[in-house]
Chains A and B, each alone.
Chain A
Amino acid sequence: MHGSPELPLSFTLNGDAVSVEADPAARLLDLLRYDLGMTGTKEGCGEGECGACTVWIDGLPADSCLVPAFQVDGREVRTIESVDPARLGPLLSSGATQCGACTPGVVMTGLWILENPGLLRSHAIRELMAGNLCRCTGYDGIIEGIEAALGTRS
């Protein structure tokens, strides 16, 4: 299909070691969805604007549509599939999700805040969530959901 030699890469995906051969032109998003069958990560815009494709790379949120797959060689990737549904209750309370297109990305950025609450010493939740666009909820529900989850953290 592509005519380019495949590139070997090994990385950690949700805690498991993965070794694959990837098309050099594949984005991390393509690798996850089409090669690895992990379709939880969504494509919205494909150009870094919407955040629907947000995953963590080495502990930081990144748009997987803007990362060539070969760049995760040797790195740790975390996707929505790693998230225990039990944790979603508080995060998605208060109308944080409607159509759901943005939700996997919203959860990954929200979870990053939950797991790094020290960020809130310098940043407001709204600033940290600015890279996750949502056409449905008007954002207040998302912010309240994250606040609620922060409050119920064990």
Chain B
Amino acid sequence: MKVERPRALAAALGLLGDAAAPLVPLAGGTDLLVHWPVRPDARTRGYLDLQRLDELRGIRWSEDALELGALATYWDVITDSRVGAEFPILVEAARQVGAIQIQSRGTWAGNVANGSPAADGVPVLMAFGAVIVLESRQGRREVPLDAYYSGYREGARREAELIVAIRIPRRAHALQRFVKVGPRRAQAIAKVGLAVARSEEGWRVVAASVAPTVRRCRAVERRLEERGLPGSPEELDDALRADVAPIDDLRSTADYRARVLARVLFDATRKGGA
């Protein structure tokens, strides 16, 4: 097992760019270290440890955006009172990721890069219109999170790129909701996840665990813009069917997921809705 531990981003990007010796970025390790190192390929892989890259730590505010560095953890967000005041569902979602032992190490960028359809960080970020900032030796590019995934665990990141930051535009929100439906309250993977945000840009509705990727529900958003709030969960069914494709798996069934999603979405749009 080869491990590189650079102290500067430029050095890290230099190492990542070597196509002959691909490296797997390692941040909090809460996804990568499960079953480590007994995964068949773990000992032959090379890893790029990001933990010494102080440039990627922390949370930064500017006039029009909140920027999470690639090493910003759930706990960093939970303990930042400004985030709690302006983006309360970021804190709510973070508090439902595992428990403190995971929140203290797990990063938002790792959640995005890992690409699980059941992720809890990704839906709230997507509901806020977050942009993923990628950097390689060749320079920076930005990909809106709602255009980041192309398939199950397939993201826009190229092997030579790191996610260096997540930028969240600061919009005034009339409503923000996060709902995680799981088998129990703590330390559980979502059977259905939902993030809803309503700003001057309109509705943003994002669902998790009901498609191969976390999914922005554009038909539902259109439905809400054009026809206002639904009178019953069933009124959302047609739009939802266009947006998501839940499946049966070991955690739940397609039918349960579809019905629960319609119900929690109905509740989320109504509570405090205009």
User: Does chain A have a CB within 8 A of B20?
Assistant: no
Interface residues on B, range: 20 to 34
Bound CA–CA A48/B188 (angstroms): 12
User: Does chain B have a CB within 8 A of A154?
Assistant: no
Bound CA–CA A70/B95 (angstroms): 27
User: Does chain A have a CB within 8 A of B49?
Assistant: yes
Within 8 A of B (CB), among A66-86: 66-68, 70-71, 73-74
Stretch at the interface among B97-105, B131-139, B190-198, B234-242: B97-105
The answer on a CB contact under 8 Å between A48 and B26 is: no
- When C-beta atoms are compared, the residue in chain A nearest to B184 turns out to be A130
Q: B34 to chain A: closest CB distance in Å? A: 5
Provide the residues of chain A in CB contact with B98, threshold 8 Å: 48, 131
User: Does chain B have a CB within 8 A of A43?
Assistant: no
User: Does chain A have a CB within 8 A of B187?
Assistant: yes
Stretch at the interface among A13-21, A33-41, A55-63: A55-63
Bound CA–CA A12/B47 (angstroms): 24
The answer on a CB contact under 8 Å between A25 and B37 is: yes
User: Does chain B have a CB within 8 A of A109?
Assistant: yes
User: Does chain A have a CB within 8 A of B65?
Assistant: no
User: Does chain A have a CB within 8 A of B33?
Assistant: yes
The answer on a CB contact under 8 Å between A67 and B105 is: yes
Interface residues of B (CB under 8 A from A): 1-3, 5, 26, 29-30, 33-37, 42-43, 47, 49, 51-52, 75, 95, 98-102, 104-105, 185-187
Give the dominant DSSP class at B's interface.
loop
Provide the residues of chain B in CB contact with A62, threshold 8 Å: 101, 104-105
Bound CA–CA A25/B44 (angstroms): 10
**Which one of B5, B35, B104, B105 lies within 8 Å of A70 (CB-CB)?**
B5
User: Does chain B have a CB within 8 A of A145?
Assistant: no
User: Does chain B have a CB within 8 A of A120?
Assistant: no
User: Does chain B have a CB within 8 A of A153?
Assistant: no
In the complex where A27-B33, A68-B26 touch, is A131 in contact with B49 (Cβ < 8 A)?
no
Q: A51, A60, A68, A112 — which one has the most chain B CB atoms within 10 A of its CB?
A: A68
In the complex where A4-B1, A24-B3, A48-B30 touch, is A66 in contact with B105 (Cβ < 8 A)?
yes
Provide the residues of chain A in CB contact with B99, threshold 8 Å: 51, 127-132
Pairs A–B under 8 Å by Cβ, sample size 18? A2-B1, A25-B43, A48-B101, A49-B187, A60-B100, A61-B100, A66-B102, A67-B29, A68-B3, A68-B26, A68-B49, A73-B52, A74-B52, A109-B101, A127-B95, A130-B100, A131-B100, A131-B102
Provide the residues of chain B in CB contact with A7, threshold 8 Å: 3, 5
The answer on a CB contact under 8 Å between A61 and B104 is: yes
- When C-beta atoms are compared, the residue in chain A nearest to B35 turns out to be A47
**Which one of A49, A68, A131 lies within 8 Å of B33 (CB-CB)?**
A68
- When C-beta atoms are compared, the residue in chain A nearest to B78 turns out to be A122
The answer on a CB contact under 8 Å between A131 and B187 is: yes
Provide the residues of chain B in CB contact with A129, threshold 8 Å: 99
The answer on a CB contact under 8 Å between B101 and A51 is: yes
The answer on a CB contact under 8 Å between A66 and B186 is: no
**Which one of A2, A70, A131 lies within 8 Å of B101 (CB-CB)?**
A131
Provide the residues of chain A in CB contact with B3, threshold 8 Å: 7, 24, 68, 70
In the complex where A25-B43, A131-B100 touch, is A71 in contact with B51 (Cβ < 8 A)?
yes
Provide the residues of chain B in CB contact with A92, threshold 8 Å: none
In the complex where A49-B187, A71-B29, A71-B49 touch, is A66 in contact with B34 (Cβ < 8 A)?
yes
- When C-beta atoms are compared, the residue in chain B nearest to A67 turns out to be B29
